[in-house]
Amino acid sequence: MLAMQRDVSVNDEPGLRPKLQPVLDPAFRPAALANRAFRAAARSTGQAVPVRIALEQADGSVFHHATEVFPENHPQAAENYYHVERLVKFLLWSRGGFRIYLDGPPALGAKLQRHFTDTATGRFDADLIGTKVYDHTIEVVPTKDLPRERAATQPLGRHLDGCRIGFDLGGSDRKVAAVVNGEVVFSEETVWDPYPQQDPQYHLDGIMDSLQKAAAHLPKVEAIGGSAAGVYVNNQVKVASLFRGVPPDVFQARVKPMFFEIQKAWGGIPLEVVNDGEVTALAGSMALNRNAVLGVALGTSQAGGYVTPDGNITSWLNELAFMPVDYAPNAPRDEWSGDLGCGVQYFSQQAVGRLLGPAGIEALADLPLPEKLKLVQRLMADGDARARKIYETIGTYLGYAVAHYAEFYDMANVLVLGRVTSGPGGEIILAWARAVLRVEFPELAARIDFHTPSEKEKRHGQAIAAASLPKIPR
C-alpha cells in the first residue's frame, strides 16, 4: 500500500502525495508525510507493534525515539524495515552514536546490523560515524531493556567579556574577528583553497596568519573560539571536509590534534572549536534573543545547528546534509554517501544545479556549482520565471523538511541562511516553506517562526558567536 521499497515506482496514494507539490519535482515524497502515513496504516490494523530505538554515544549520552510497525504476520510487514532504517539513518546523523539499541521484532535488528556491514550506504555511515567520529564500529543490540535516556548538553558560548578572537573556516575563505566585550573591532576575510591541500601545514599557517592579524588589534588575547565545517569533539578534528586532501596517516598525526597545537602556541589560553552549524544557530539565538533554534544553512552543502530550549548547544552531530527528507524511490543520489533523498540534494548549490534542467535553464555541464547559482540569481533579479520556479521548489522542500525535523527537534525558530538564500530568491524560499506549514501542518505553523539574519548579523554574528565559545577564568 505505502510502496516504500526502493525498487517500486512512485506511489500516488494521497497519504504520500504532498498537497503543495514542488513545481519542478512531481516525484517528491516527503519523509514527514511518508512516516505519518506509515504509522497510521500500522495503527489501523489494531495490532501495531511498538518499536523503541536508543542511540548511545562514547560519552554515555543516550537518545530515545519510538515508532510503530506492522505485525510480522501482516502482508505489509515487509515495509517495516525501510521505515525503521530511514529513522535510524536520520537519528545517526542527527544525534550521533555508535551503539543502536532496538526493542522491536528480532528480524529488524538482524537486518539492520547487516545493513551496516553489507551495503554501501550502510558501510559509509558506519565508517564515518562509527569509526571516524566515535572510534567504534557501529553495532545493533536487540533488547527490550533500553538504557535510560541522558544527554550531555553544555552551556557553551555567550561569553562576551574580555579580549577575544573568533574565526570561521570555510571552503573558499577563512574569516576572523577581534572582539572586545562583545564589540567587533576588526574583521577580515581571506581567500584560501584548503580542500586539495595534502600538507596540513597549509591549513595551520593560514589559521595562525588570521589569528595573528586579529591579535594585532587587541591589547591582549584572552580566548579564541572558532567554527568550521565537520565534526569536532573536545577540540579534536574527527571528520572535516577542509582536510579531505590530507592522507589518512597524516590526518591522524597532524590534523586531529591541530587545535591543541594552536592552543599551545597561544600560551594555553581557553580555546574552543565546534561545528559551524552549531555556531550559526548560536549566533541566531543570540541575535534573536530566543532559544529552541534550528539553524539551516543552504550553501556549498547543507549545514545545521541546534540550540536547545534552555539555550545550550549539544553533543549531537546535526549533520542535516546526510539526513533523508525524500522517500521517493527515484530520489536524487548523494554523490558522497551514495544514498537517496538526503538533504544535501535539496538545500544547497547542488540542489540549484540539479533543478536547472527541469526549470529549462541551459548551462554548461562543467560550469562550477557556484557559477550555476550566480546564473540563477542573475536570472531571478531579472524576473525570470524559470529561476523563480527553482526557489519555489526549494522552499516547498524546506517546508516539508522542517515538518520532518520537528519530529526530532524541540524547536520554535528556524534560522535560514546561506548563499542559496541570497537575493530575492531567499524570500521566495521562506514564503513557500511557510505556505507548506500552513497548508499541511497547521499545528507547526502556529508555533514555528522562520528567520533570516540581518546584514549586520551576516557580517559579524558568526564571528561574535564563535569568539564567545570559551569561558575566560576570572
Residue 229 to residue 319: CA distance in whole angstroms: 10
pLDDT at 7: 36
Ordered mean pLDDT values, 10 residues apiece, the chain (474 residues): 36 74 97 96 96 92 96 94 97 96 94 96 95 93 95 79 94 91 93 94 98 98 93 90 94 97 98 90 91 92 92 89 96 94 96 97 92 96 97 98 97 93 95 98 98 76 89 91
Residue 36 corresponds to which cell in the numbers above? 505519518
What domains does the chain contain, in order, with CATH numbers? 45-142 (no CATH), 163-274 (3.30.420.40), 280-461 (3.30.420.40)
Residue 208 to residue 213: CA distance in whole angstroms: 9
pTM of the model: 0.90
How distant, in Å, are the alpha carbons of 78, 95, 241, 292, 299 from that of 302?
Answer: 32, 16, 13, 20, 6
Supply angle C-alpha 222, 228, 229, rounded to 5. Answer: 165
Residue 450 corresponds to which cell in the numbers above? 522562520
Helices 80-94 and 31-44: angle between axes, nearest 10 degrees: 140
100: helix, strand or coil: strand
Residue 41 to residue 69: CA distance in whole angstroms: 9
Other beta carbons within 10 angstroms of residue 448's beta carbon come to 21
Please list, in sequence order, all residues whose beta carbon lies within 8 angstroms of the beta carbon of residue 128, skipping any fewer than 6 positions away: 239
Residue 50 corresponds to which cell in the numbers above? 511498538
How distant, in Å, are the alpha carbons of 17, 159, 434 from that of 37?
Answer: 10, 45, 22
Chain centre distance of CA 89: 13
pLDDT at 5: 37
Given 3-state DSSP classes, what are the helix, strand and coil percentages for the chain, each rounded to the nearest 5? 40, 20, 40
- Give CB contacts under 8 A, 24+ apart, made by 439-447: 439/19, 439/20, 440/18, 440/19, 440/20, 440/33, 440/399, 440/400, 440/403, 441/32, 441/403, 441/406, 444/402, 444/403, 444/406, 447/412
- Can you list the alpha helix ranges (DSSP code H) found in 302-384? 349-359, 369-381
Q: Point out which residues pair with 52 in neighbouring strands.
A: 66, 103
Residue 51 to residue 144: CA distance in whole angstroms: 10
Q: What single letter denotes the amino acid at residue 270?
A: P
Residue 16 to residue 105: CA distance in whole angstroms: 25
Beta strands 49-56 and 99-103 are: antiparallel
